[in-house]
Structure 1
């Protein structure tokens, strides 16, 4: 903000022309590059900081120390409309008389509040605190707010669509279920899935019109997609008689003809554990034993004796 010295920088308001740059604010220096070659360099005058005027140290304003301005904490109210996306920018043009001394000026969010527009909540006002200066004879710059979307623990956003994951039991996947989805605006969505419409692992279902609102048209919304995972029961959840009764309710098995012959071998399936190498080690030992037995068999190739 403007200092109490009214941008004079001194108590008396007096200043004199800088002798180093003669009031131009620029100093010219020459550098020898080689025989008959030189370079002219223009730099800002260090004595007057490029202003062309110098204020006596004893006459400097005690508030601004001759800089003619003071830092000011400015609070801006930023309206974040519904449906705005990550990296979308909100501009505060220079007519606000704010000059940010550097790009990426430090700021802090004070609080948020809901705003109403056309009878419904359509934006969130964010109060942001900036440290800026209104410098004399400098064109005010712009303040650009770049939105960063915070990750949600339940919902994932892709464009105007939302995605969630839900887990159902095998019984629910086969016989239907009721499910409650609490939306981000605290509304409860009751999802009813009828019996007979089977849910398979990895299936994706859609709830139309429950996604993110479209920017500048909050009454139009994307979709909410639900990805399902199915939890199967443990191996001992039913006895043999119950399994036979259950099989009568399920579609029939595929036909299988048992092959015959000496090259057919019956094996068992075991639980897989990538850290357990005992099965592979046992098989390798069996192969090694077969090799030793073959090497000692009659009729094998023997080394020639000299």
Structure 2
């Protein structure tokens, strides 16, 4: 029978006790601590690697490997990065969206950016605006930067009722209604309806649970039905 030599452990070499190194005890390898400075350059992307060649663990008769650091981009509470561009969300009141706005954004480097609308400009819900050269620096070209995109959301008033005189004033200022004006005869042929306030996410969740319960009940009915066997000839 064959087995590994207990003295050399299969290496084919034995070092006498008097010749053993006092540090490695004959293993030919010692442990040491080393400080590596990882330099993250401007504009480096998520998942990009910083490689230290030949700095991994060493062993006799083997090629020394590399130490690789993989960058992980930490999320920011306000800014979102996409490649070399930055995205930020901002809520406007209905008055600001219609009559103009002015606010300040504190950038990542601490600078204060004044953001304001053009005279007479109207901002629509979901609209984007861009500021050149205020995004992230390009890797290996730090003097070139991406864009800063501002995603606007318009907050409508919480109160759901306007006085009749307020409605008339708004109708004079705002564009005409897009819906067709119905005549009295057309209104007589229509049926009155009632609109209800809902939460669409809760509605969809409730419908999915109802469909799941119906499918579960159908499976129970099929399993409880008696099986008819074929007649033997």
The answer (yes or no) to whether the contact 1:174–1:195 under 8 Å persists in 2 is no
Cα deviation, residue 64, structure 1: 2.5
Instruction: Give the 3-state SS of the residue equivalent to 1:157 in structure 2.
Output: strand
Give the TM-score of the pair, scaled to structure 2: 0.74
Question: Could you give the per-residue CA deviations for residues 64-97 of structure 1, whole angstroms, max 9, x where no partner exists?
Answer: 2321332111111121111111222222222xxx
In the TM superposition, residue 184 of structure 1 has moved relative to its aligned partner by 1.2
Q: How many residues align?
A: 200
Q: CA RMSD in A?
A: 2.9
Select the residue among 251, 257, 275 that pairs with 2:182. 257
1:211-230 to structure 2, matched below 5 A, reads: 211-230=135-154
1:92 is matched with: 52
Instruction: Assess if the C-alpha contact under 8 Å between 1:175 and 1:194 holds in 2.
Output: no
Structure 1 distance, partners of 2:26, 2:46, is 42
Deviation at 1:262, TM superposition (A): 6.8
1:244 aligns with 2:168: yes
Partner Cα separation in structure 1 for residue 187 and residue 11 of structure 2: 102
Relative to its length, the structure with more strand (as a share) is 1
Contact 1:182 1:189 in 2 (8 A): yes
Contact 1:99–1:135 (8 Å) recurs in 2: no
Give 1:248 deviation, angstroms: 1.9
- Please list every run of 5 or more consecutive structure 1 residues that lacks an aligned counterpart in the other structure: 1-27, 30-42, 101-133, 277-306
**Correspondent of 2:34 among 68, 74, 92:** 74
- CA shift at 1:139, angstroms? 3.1
* Alignment partner of 2:106 out of 179, 182, 204: 182
Counterpart-to-counterpart distance in 2, 1:71 and 1:234: 67
Alignment of 1:5-16 (within 5 A): none
Q: Which residue of 1 aligns with 2:228?
A: none
- Name the one with the larger helix percent: 2
TM-score, normalised to structure 1, is: 0.57
Instruction: Flag structure 2 segments of 5+ consecutive residues without an equivalent.
Output: 204-233
Matches of 2:153 and 2:187 in 1, distance apart?
42
Instruction: Please list the CA deviations of residues 113-149 of structure 1 after superposition, one character each: whole Å capped at 9, or x if unmatched.
Output: xxxxxxxxxxxxxxxxxxxxx4444432222222221
Q: 1:178-217: per-residue Cα shift (whole Å, max 9, x none)?
A: 1211111111111111242111111111111111111111
Q: 1:180 to 1:267 in 2, by over 3 A?
A: same
Deviation at 1:252, TM superposition (A): 2.3
Report how far residue 169 of structure 1 moved: 0.5
Separation in structure 2 between the aligned mates of residue 84 and residue 261 of structure 1, nearest angstrom: 64
Moved more, 79-88 or 213-222: 79-88
Q: Does 1:268 align with 2:194?
A: yes
Q: Secondary structure at the match of 1:75?
A: coil
Q: How far apart, in 2, do the equivalents of 1:216 and 1:56 lie?
A: 55
Equivalent-residue separation in structure 2 for 1:182 and 1:245 (angstroms): 38
